[in-house]
């Protein structure tokens, strides 16, 4: 007799349901940030980013931390509001990605770092608000939130990185012809 396999008849995971759940969690947690922390959250993001990855600090030498935190806060707010209109959001992200690559030297690998730090700071903020006596439900909720934000930030990062790669590839022939 073969061992019991709960998945032998297949697992039905509705991708649309998962995507909608992720969107709802992203909206819900971002609303919490907006009401409680606003750009203080994104300022904490940059503080942690600079602590863990000091090599990126020169990319931000022409702007104050406060101004940069506000810009990130505004971009994330727009992205969260546009989760149901990805066709409208993608061109905005492509433009941002191309400009970040051309003007600041942002590379594909930087987007993974952004996701890592953003999720860490979000986890810390949410955990600090959660009642400590409900650790089981807290852990499950925070895992779901981490998954949701990782999904949306990876989506944003991929779109921006692709646009950045294209922008830099388009600039390369100019550099080659200038050398010749």
pLDDT tens track for 74-88: 999 999 999 999 899
pTM score, whole prediction: 0.82
pLDDT (tens digit, 9 = 90+) per residue, 126-149?
888 776 666 667 778 888 999 999
Mean pLDDT, range 143-159, rounded to an integer: 95
pLDDT (tens digit, 9 = 90+) per residue, 6-40?
556 655 557 788 899 999 999 999 998 888 767 78
Distances (CA, A) of 61 to 49, 65, 93: 14, 9, 23
Share of the chain above pLDDT 90, in %: 63
pLDDT, residue 176, reads 43
Share of the chain above pLDDT 70, in %: 84
Degrees, nearest 5: CA angle 140-73-98:
105
Residue 153, token pair as written in the block? 């930030």
Residue 52, token pair as written in the block? 């863990």
Q: What is the DSSP letter of 58?
A: G
- Whether the CA torsion 43, 46, 51, 55 is positive or negative: it is negative
Residue 26 in contact with residue 122, Cβ under 8 Å?
Answer: no
């Amino acid at each position: 007799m073969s061992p019991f396999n709960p998945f032998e008849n297949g697992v039905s995971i509705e991708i649309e349901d998962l995507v909608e759940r992720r969107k709802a969690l992203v909206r819900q947690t971002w609303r919490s940030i907006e009401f409680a922390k606003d750009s203080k959250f994104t300022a904490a993001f940059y503080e942690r980013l600079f602590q863990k990855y000091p090599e990126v600090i020169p990319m931000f030498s022409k702007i104050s931390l406060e101004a940069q935190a506000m810009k990130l806060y505004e971009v994330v707010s727009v992205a969260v509001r546009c989760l149901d209109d990805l066709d409208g959001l993608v061109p905005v992200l492509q433009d941002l990605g191309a400009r970040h690559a051309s003007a600041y030297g942002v590379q594909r690998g930087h987007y993974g770092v952004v996701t890592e730090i953003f999720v860490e700071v979000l986890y810390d903020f949410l955990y600090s608000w959660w009642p400590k006596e409900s650790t089981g439900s807290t852990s499950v909720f925070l895992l779901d939130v981490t998954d949701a934000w990782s999904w949306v930030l990876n989506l944003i990062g991929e779109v921006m990185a692709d646009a950045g790669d294209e922008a830099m590839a388009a600039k390369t022939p100019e550099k080659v012809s200038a050398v010749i």
